Chain A
Amino acid sequence: MSAVPGVVPSRRPGPLRVSGFVAVLVAVSWALGAFSAWPWTVTAPGSARLRISLRHVTGFHADVRTRSAEELAKLPAHMRPKDASVPVTGRRADAVLSVRVDGRPALTRTYRPTGLRRNGPVYAYEELALAPGRHVVGLTLTDAGSGRAWPLDTAIEFAPGRAPLVEFVAGAGWHSD
């Protein structure tokens, strides 16, 4: 109790204010529900896409060398290569991907090998927007060092809202959905 009455006013909210508080929180709960699942158009309805994924190990084309007998001797037995004449290090060549859709060029891009010394595999992922329907897709992956190429020509049905995948895996070549 106040030693001197009337100095500090009461702060107890009346029932009308409590009702206002409940109304505010009902509005906030509606907003939580609405904005936690408000739709966003990521891709246009009815569109289609070609997805291309590749992982490829190109050949060495610079700073190539084999290990000397002394170097091989220093390596633990399980790390010694079966064929010592195969180069083990150097800079790998770039890879070039070219894509044609229905005979028309759609994409040509060069990818550098990964790693600080550019001695790792090449990774790439591309998406191309296409009109729904059947398309003849031609892909060629070329090793820029050796000139060796891996072509694929295939007809793919692009249903609306679908994104078929064409994938190149080192050693296994191209395959599509």
Chain B
Amino acid sequence: MFQPDPALALTAFPPRPRERAHRRVLHAAGALYQWLEVALDRLVSAPLNPLYHTGTIAVFSLAVATVTGIYLFLFYRVGTAAAHASIEGIMAQPLGIGALMRSLHRYSSDAALLAAALHGGKMLLNDRFWGPRWIGWVTGLSLMALVWITGATGYWLVWDAQALVLSVTTARFLDVTPFFTEPIVQTFVRNDAIQKFLFFIVLFIHITIPLLIGAMYWLHVMRLARARFFPPRVVLWVTGAALIVASLLRPALSGPAADPAVLPGAVPVDWFYFPYFPLTRLDPRTGWALVAGTGALVVSLPWLLRGRELPRATVETVACTGCTRCYKDCPYDAIIMVPRAEGGRYRTEAVVNPARCVGCGICVGACDSAGILLGGEPARVLTGAVTSRIVAVRNAQARAGAGAARPVLVFACRLMPHLEGRLGADGTLAGVPGATVVGLPCVGMLHPEMLEGALAAGADGVYVAGCVPEDCQAREGSALLAERLAGRRLPKLEHVAPGRVRLDWYSPVEVRRLLGDLRAFQRALP
């Protein structure tokens, strides 16, 4: 009887060492967020779950804000009296067109900031903010700051009671710095002291910052291949419809015209943009300490909370045929094709840029010639580990005799940390006899031949538990594997009997659903 080599079985992807305490707290918070996503998945289905499309919803909302902003610009007038009057004039336009455009402008701006904040929170809680992703994190924060500035200046331009509160609180905040000789707050003591020029400056900032947002967005997605700008069509149309419904049911209104001689009393405040207003009652120096401290902390999170170094991909030049599949499949544009230095049969070869590589292994699954190493280990180590696992399960069954559960090989990625308590040292899974689990950085690492090989080695079935495609940790791993297994993408799954391979998608916390599906798959095996 073949004795599996436990060392080999664990060489490829050993259990990760215990994380540091602050990382464990991050993962626990991440699990809570994932349960929220699961709840929404069950209500609206994963493809429509807005929590998976926050980034693209933010971009779409900004596009709506830009288009409606151009319309409003045509009718806007500068000046303390003229600004407020021109907005009221827009609201009174026939057929409610002006009111609709103005309300869409406001609500799309709110939706953009809300979606961007949720997107950032998701990236943090799902551990996608450090290593090569630090640029996405830092530019994302910059984008939020720019969106906030353009939104806040937009509120100022209305010159209503909220704008005056914004002016005075911001002025007091800035006046404690040594940069302004004359206190800015004195600009707002009388309406007739406020010059039209100030409105032009604020309008200029309001209009030009979106250009900076465009440039920053380019930096934000520069490390992504096939970056998506807008959400899927259904999500886009329904989001747009929701903004229109909000605008029609609750048109955006201005507060009373700003008058410094009148105390504001209770002011309608946009809490998406100004959640800090209650803190403005503190000393401005305390405000600066809070802003500087929070800002520095958030910006430095990719280094403060970084995990262990990722196993990066490298290309074994002698094996590379220059087929470009890895180059086309890499979701992070981390692979480039270069002319082969030493000549030979193939004209080009793939080269991995380690600064961009997140170690997902999708390139390993795309490579027919096993020419890519992950963490210095070739794909055959994984194949060996898989064979070893299957043989171990079959041996255990032989010892158990008749009636033993049928051997099933399970591949999983983000579920692994949540499965750890149920896994034996040899990969067996408590609650599903006959199953053995192999953890991968991403299921996109699977070449269809690995699945075919596992069946040939003695597994009765292969079950792949990937991430929800809209929420793949490596962006496209689940979707690329699905295309390979469905025969829509090279390399294709071909030589497998129906019912012996199954792919399904799970949130990392959906362990119970996986166990149920796995038992059902095992029972239904041909």
Verify A165–B260 contact, CB threshold 8 A: yes
| Chain B residues, Cβ within 8 Å of A150 | none
Verify A25–B501 contact, CB threshold 8 A: no
| Chain A residues, Cβ within 8 Å of B241 | 25
Verify B48–A13 contact, CB threshold 8 A: yes
Q: Chain A nearest CB: distance from B186 CB in Å?
A: 5
Verify B487–A3 contact, CB threshold 8 A: yes
Verify B165–A123 contact, CB threshold 8 A: no
Within 253-298 of B, Cβ neighbours of A (below 8 Å) are at 253, 260-272, 277-278
B269 CB contact (under 8 Å) in A17, A25, A37: A37
Interface string of A8-29 (1 = CB under 8 A from B): 1101111001101111111011
A76 adjacent to chain B (CB < 8 Å): no
Verify A22–B262 contact, CB threshold 8 A: no
A177 adjacent to chain B (CB < 8 Å): yes
| Chain A residues, Cβ within 8 Å of B267 | 39-40, 42
Closest to B178 in A: A116
Verify B263–A162 contact, CB threshold 8 A: yes
Verify B238–A22 contact, CB threshold 8 A: yes
B262 CB contact (under 8 Å) in A2, A9, A34, A163: A163
Within 75-114 of B, Cβ neighbours of A (below 8 Å) are at 106-107, 110-111, 114
| Chain B residues, Cβ within 8 Å of A38 | 268-269, 271
| Chain B residues, Cβ within 8 Å of A36 | 106-107, 110, 252, 270-272
Verify A42–B264 contact, CB threshold 8 A: yes
Alpha-carbon separation in the docked complex, A14 to B142 (Å): 39
Within 20-68 of A, Cβ neighbours of B (below 8 Å) are at 20-26, 28-30, 32-43, 45, 47-49, 51, 53, 55
Alpha-carbon separation in the docked complex, A34 to B10 (Å): 55
B355 adjacent to chain A (CB < 8 Å): no
Q: Chain A nearest CB: distance from B483 CB in Å?
A: 9
Verify A4–B44 contact, CB threshold 8 A: no
Q: Chain A nearest CB: distance from B56 CB in Å?
A: 14
Verify A161–B182 contact, CB threshold 8 A: no
Verify B272–A11 contact, CB threshold 8 A: no
Closest to A161 in B: B263
Verify A29–B245 contact, CB threshold 8 A: yes
Known contacts A114-B181, A125-B189: does B262 contact A161 (CB below 8 Å)? yes
Alpha-carbon separation in the docked complex, A28 to B57 (Å): 13
Verify A24–B50 contact, CB threshold 8 A: yes
A90 adjacent to chain B (CB < 8 Å): no
Partner-contacting stretch, out of B403-411, B430-438, B490-498: B490-498
| Chain B residues, Cβ within 8 Å of A73 | none
Known contacts A3-B492, A53-B186: does B498 contact A24 (CB below 8 Å)? no
Verify A33–B44 contact, CB threshold 8 A: no
Interface residues on A, range: 35 or more
Interface residues on B, range: 35 or more
B263 CB contact (under 8 Å) in A18, A55, A163: A163
Within 204-255 of B, Cβ neighbours of A (below 8 Å) are at 234-235, 238-239, 241-243, 245-246, 249-250, 252-253
Within 140-177 of A, Cβ neighbours of B (below 8 Å) are at 161-165, 167, 177
A120 adjacent to chain B (CB < 8 Å): yes
Q: Chain A nearest CB: distance from B320 CB in Å?
A: 26
| Chain B residues, Cβ within 8 Å of A45 | 265-266
B486 adjacent to chain A (CB < 8 Å): yes
Verify A162–B45 contact, CB threshold 8 A: no
| Chain B residues, Cβ within 8 Å of A14 | 45
Known contacts A20-B43, A25-B239, A161-B263: does B270 contact A35 (CB below 8 Å)? yes
Q: Chain A nearest CB: distance from B232 CB in Å?
A: 11
Verify B482–A37 contact, CB threshold 8 A: no
Q: Chain B nearest CB: distance from A33 CB in Å?
A: 4
B183 adjacent to chain A (CB < 8 Å): yes
Alpha-carbon separation in the docked complex, A49 to B260 (Å): 11
Verify B498–A42 contact, CB threshold 8 A: no
| Chain B residues, Cβ within 8 Å of A115 | 181
Verify B271–A35 contact, CB threshold 8 A: yes
Known contacts A4-B485, A40-B266: does B260 contact A25 (CB below 8 Å)? no
Closest to A25 in B: B242
Interface string of B461-498 (1 = CB under 8 A from A): 00000000100000000000010011100001110111
A6 adjacent to chain B (CB < 8 Å): yes
Verify B498–A29 contact, CB threshold 8 A: no
A-B residue pairs in contact (CB < 8 Å), sample of 12: A12-B47, A17-B43, A23-B43, A32-B243, A35-B271, A35-B272, A36-B106, A39-B268, A40-B277, A47-B263, A49-B263, A162-B262
- What is A's interface to B at a CB cutoff of 8 Å? 1-9, 11-14, 17-18, 20-26, 28-30, 32-43, 45, 47-49, 51, 53, 55, 114-115, 120-121, 123-125, 161-165, 167, 177
New A-B contacts (20) at CB < 8 Å, excluding given A39-B269, A42-B165, A163-B261: A4-B487, A4-B494, A7-B503, A8-B485, A17-B48, A20-B44, A24-B43, A29-B242, A29-B245, A36-B252, A36-B271, A37-B270, A39-B266, A42-B266, A42-B267, A43-B264, A114-B182, A123-B182, A125-B189, A177-B261
User: 3 shortest A-B CB distances, which residue pairs?
Assistant: A3-B487, A33-B250, A29-B246
- What is B's interface to A at a CB cutoff of 8 Å? 40, 43-48, 50, 106-107, 110-111, 114, 165, 181-183, 185-186, 189-190, 234-235, 238-239, 241-243, 245-246, 249-250, 252-253, 260-272, 277-278, 469, 482, 485-487, 492-494, 496-499, 501-504
